[in-house]
Structure 1
Amino acid sequence: MVREKLTDFTIQKEAIISSLLIKRGNGLFNQGLHDIFNRASSSKNRLKIEDVQVIIEAIELKQREAEIIFYTYFGSEYDKNIIVNNTLIGSKFIEAEFYYDTRVLKKTIEIIDPNMYREVVNINFQLFILNIASLYENLVKLIELLIKKRVVFGDRNPHLSVHLRVLIAYWDNLVELDYRKNDEFYIWLTSHRTYLDQYLSQINSLRNSFIHGYSLNLNIDSISNEYVVKNYDNSTTGFPQPAGGGVISDLVLNTFVDSVVNNTKNLTEDVLNLFQSKLSHHRTKVPM
């Protein structure tokens, strides 16, 4: 039986929205700095102060969905032996209860066929990756709304689809050129750099494969008897092949999903706490 509390960013969200409304009333929110990069776009595509609440709600919804997928299929209930051995004696029951605030979700799943179990694991891994990739794009939208622009594409609307790794590359260049300072937000980025450098390219590669390709991106490693993430490029990711070969432990399926869901929660919570703290100061102007 799984019983887990889900992520809730209500406190940060309400504090951020309240501070922004105060700043708009005091003339400390400059919409023009956003509009200047959106001249070729219709007004409906322009990011506005009102979008902040919707973006944060989208982020926390996707974080909760990632947690539900993880705890249901890849946490303590995950059974690699069913997949590796293609056998299932009796039924595989998964009972889960999730809650936050006063909300409760209960799930009961019964699987009686090993092939179906593998299929359920495969499809939920795909949903997990697409959900996380979308969360990161929403995080970029929030950063680009509250902090002065880093990603500029001329006449194109820079907010439609910007990957987090693209934002990071621009941000690094601006700090290196001394156009932006090594401020609290860049320190936040640096504090999560080990995870981001290791996982972002892999997540993006998986996302593209799921959307544009047909591979399951998972495979049984016959030597280790593990179900592992495949289709990685050790020249561009932080998952180099171990000396002498063998399975890459970080790419074992349940370990990979565990690392992604927890690191994503930590980096998102940290930046929301930082926004809450910075915006609460009466002198802070937006975008920062």
Structure 2
Amino acid sequence: MSNFAAARNALLSVVNRKILSSKITTVNKDINKKLEIEINAFKSLLDGIEGKFRKCEMLYITYFENIDHAVLSGNPATLPYLMDCTFIDGTATLRQVFECDDRLLYKEIIDMNFQSFILMISSIYECLVTLSEVMLKKVIIHGNKPPQSSPLHDYRTFLKILISLGYRRNDELSTCINGFDAYFDGYLLTIYSLRNSFVHGYNQNLASDTLTYKIIRFESHFAATSPLLNVDVFTKEVLDRSRDFINSLYGTLARASSHYRKSLPA
């Protein structure tokens, strides 16, 4: 399973150093109290990001990596479906066995775990926005009642607007996020469209095209017949790019705030 220890430790080192040297301001906390810089809360935020990501990895490996498109397309010939997974995280080992002998139940399990995957990824992205706004000066400003969290696509949009207006400059944060534009432009709105559908609606947003099991709710970046919408392909791309982004953002936030003259939020 993924290990973010090197990037995490570099980030924690910067925060600890700033706290010990009293290089902390309340400029973001004054806008939103949850952005207070406190080491235990900061560790909990990182734990939440990494724990949710590992859960997404487990969902992908257990249910999507070797998904049986034939069964999901109506052919039960290969049932029962069996997946025996062993997950290793440091010195910890977890074995998970998934076996199903019914086509409709298998479809239901895939549908529900895809929903869990999307909701978890969406939550990770919102936590990464929170992390950025703990470490760096705020990008999104709300009134007296800030929302619980801000979607990553809103954060990207506001950051680009502030830069274009000259209120912020192109810096390490914008360079980091812009480096993932190809992925975000293609996938982020579809992820949030699916997320909102799952939270506020009842559709599963998956269906078979008679050969493969695909996402049927998507934004204009994708063509309806694109293999990128196959559940296994889509979840793999989201997982890989999200892993890369977490590592990149951790490193960016550490570098952007590490100078001894800078206070947090930088």
Q: Fold-level match, TM-score > 0.5?
A: yes
Give the TM interval when normalised to the shorter protein: over 0.9
1:283 aligns with 2:261: yes
2:27 aligned to 25, 28, 33, which one? 33
Q: Which range is displaced more, 135-144 or 106-115?
A: 106-115
CA contact (8 A) 2:140 2:155 kept: yes
Task: Note the C-alpha offset of 1:156.
Answer: 1.8
1:14 aligns with 2:14: no
What pairs up with 1:1-288 in 2 under 5 angstroms?
A: 6-30=1-25, 32-38=26-32, 45-50=34-39, 51-75=41-65, 77-157=66-146, 160-222=148-210, 225-234=211-220, 238-239=221-222, 241=223, 247-288=225-266
Task: Note the C-alpha offset of 1:91.
Answer: 2.0
For 2:165 and 2:38, how far apart are their aligned partners in 1? 29
User: What is the DSSP-based 3-state SS (H/G/I as helix, E as strand, rest coil) of the residue aligned with 2:97?
Assistant: strand
Deviations 1:214-256 (A, max 9, x none): 101001114xx2211012242xxx22x3xxxx61221111111
For 1:181 and 1:134, how far apart are their aligned partners in 2? 28
CA contact (8 A) 1:84 1:226 kept: yes
Q: Which range is displaced more, 137-146 or 115-124?
A: 115-124
User: What is the DSSP-based 3-state SS (H/G/I as helix, E as strand, rest coil) of the residue aligned with 1:34?
Assistant: coil
Q: 1:182 is matched by which residue type in structure 2?
A: N
For 2:10 and 2:135, how far apart are their aligned partners in 1? 14
CA contact (8 A) 2:162 2:168 kept: yes
Q: 2:93 is matched by which residue type in structure 1?
A: V
With the length of structure 1 as denominator, give the TM-score of the two structures: 0.87
Q: Which range is displaced more, 252-261 or 15-24?
A: 15-24
**Mind listing any 5+ residue stretches in structure 2 that lack a counterpart?**
none
Root-mean-square deviation (CA, aligned residues, Å) is 1.7
How many residues in Structure 1 have an aligned counterpart in Structure 2? 265
User: What is the DSSP-based 3-state SS (H/G/I as helix, E as strand, rest coil) of the residue aligned with 1:48?
Assistant: coil
Partner of 1:3: none
CA contact (8 A) 2:11 2:251 kept: no
User: What is the DSSP-based 3-state SS (H/G/I as helix, E as strand, rest coil) of the residue aligned with 2:47?
Assistant: helix
